[in-house]
Structure 1
């Protein structure tokens, strides 16, 4: 390994990411909050997200999914049961609140006054020792809240379940790369059923996800992938995930021209969640699950990267897909892909 070369490459990548982010700020597309990975969204940015959501809805309409929406928090017990902390403890976000008495409140305010005498970056967090864990955690992936909800309904019908879910999610990985946000939205279609149903679902969405990116006139590459499992044991789990071809990602250059970002993921969980929450098929067997996840901010950023900061100058067919006759364009694309 050439340490100097690696360091230069990292510095160049950070410069490119920072330059793209600065462009988004200067054009008023994202709003700087002073915290890496936490941004406000402008009307222009949200109009693109709205257009993408409409396209994704039409893309999955023939699957007749159940529509579910949850806030970006979930029960702590469900989060604990999910085993997320076994694999991604470094990404998790918990929710704490003040639960003390009046004396504790006085001490908290004293600590807060001391902290506020310091600059933002140097402030201590002594006041937080008076915060206690609540019964909630931040949602790490849009699909997580649905599994215990569906499990409580009992065995799935013969056709299984197909669910459309959208949520803000949290992952603690601050970065100057605008494509790596700490708070972001995932739109997912989730399949719960037999292994055959889930595998068929995943293959269909690899094709449909690729179609959507083609219609948006973005460069597309689908590749085998693995999740960023934590620690030394994580490599073994990641290697197993790749060996079993459980995860594919749709990659697009976003912040960096010569590096690709996962903007969609296609996942087969096997019976992992089914066993945890006792999800059952009609015949009583443990249900398998799978999902396709659309990174709404990442796809939107890819559009700004490849088509420019002025949405009025984007290609007519892209504008038509997002803000025109979206349904007809998606149906035409699906019909063409089927022939």
Structure 2
């Protein structure tokens, strides 16, 4: 099925077939959304919580092919590979100042740490259908909000960077608390990043290189795309000033691809210059002792997967041959 020809509407809540109206006439069918189509085809598996989905073999084949393709594109970077679980130490998270900027997105891991009496109270509340969550306590880990966050404290502990700086290849599941019926706004999603640490000149050259590579990748995948200046979703009134400053300094660019029904195109890649933020939080220093600057090129593996399904259809056999070959012959 080629979903590009489907009539889709984000407001639709599912098919309404055979339902009569008060006048006795059949009610018009409710338009199917892209998310409905993905679920109907078994590509995404609903769990009952918006933004949390299981994935099918077809979906994972595309995602794994995309990850392998990004590895191929970045093979010349001589990057150090780092792979972290989707949790990070709470003290590093607190130091990062993420809660100052994005408290609405954070996820903290809680566990039961009580005694037998407290366990009895928890179970009793559970059986009565009452709230039991206040019986859990925060642990020393939080859910990773962005793949690059664990990298900076690790490298800071190693001491000064080499003269050429450093590039890190990092991948992680990430969590952001923004439940939505838009399939591209998952609460738990995969992010692949190349992170650059060094001088301002090194970071800006790195970012420009990856902007060009990202645009070529979108061309090769045969999806419509635009590059645009962007800002992160900083919280509150003060956050608007920070976001405006981020745009004024042209620190963040996003590559946008149409995915969601009747909505603006979705950011599937981002190219970021953090200036010296992370070297202010942690002692990241260049070889000559100056504060290191950092930047990253980030690829939303799940958003790119969805972008391909939206623009090429749910039946992989109908995709362009060149795109299928790029993704490992899926």
TM-score, normalised by the number of residues in structure 1: 0.88
Structure having the higher helix fraction is 1
Q: How does 1:1-339 map to 2 (within 5 A)?
A: 13-15=10-12, 19-115=33-129, 124=130, 126-257=131-262, 259-324=264-329
Q: Is the 8 A contact 2:88 2:141 kept in 1?
A: yes
Which runs of 5 or more structure 1 residues have no equivalent in the other structure?
A: 1-11, 116-123, 327-339
1:240 partner SS: helix
Which runs of 5 or more structure 2 residues have no equivalent in the other structure?
A: 1-8, 14-30
1:186 partner SS: strand
Q: For residues 130-167 of structure 1, give each alpha carbon's deviation from its aligned partner in whole angstroms, at most 9, with x where no partner exists.
A: 10000000000000001000000000001111000000
For residues 281 and 38 of structure 2, the distance between their equivalents in structure 1, rounded to whole angstroms, comes to 42
For residues 258 and 181 of structure 1, the distance between their equivalents in structure 2, rounded to whole angstroms, comes to 16
Q: Give the CA deviation at 1:312.
A: 1.3
2:298 partner SS: strand
Q: Give the CA deviation at 1:215.
A: 0.4
**Runs of 4+ residues deviating >6 angstroms:** none
For residues 147 and 90 of structure 2, the distance between their equivalents in structure 1, rounded to whole angstroms, comes to 15
Q: Give the CA deviation at 1:18.
A: 6.7
For residues 83 and 63 of structure 2, the distance between their equivalents in structure 1, rounded to whole angstroms, comes to 16
1:229 partner SS: coil
Seen in structure 2, the aligned counterparts of structure 1 residues 168 and 101 have a Cα distance that, compared at 3 Å, is same
For residues 133 and 64 of structure 2, the distance between their equivalents in structure 1, rounded to whole angstroms, comes to 37
Q: Is the 8 A contact 2:230 2:252 kept in 1?
A: yes
For residues 211 and 15 of structure 1, the distance between their equivalents in structure 2, rounded to whole angstroms, comes to 34
Q: Give the CA deviation at 1:45.
A: 0.5
Q: Give the CA deviation at 1:257.
A: 4.9
Q: Is the 8 A contact 2:33 2:261 kept in 1?
A: no
Root-mean-square deviation over aligned CA pairs: 1.6
Q: Alignment length, in residue pairs? A: 306
Q: For residues 164-214 of structure 1, give each alpha carbon's deviation from its aligned partner in whole angstroms, at most 9, with x where no partner exists.
A: 000000000000000000000000000001000001000000000111111
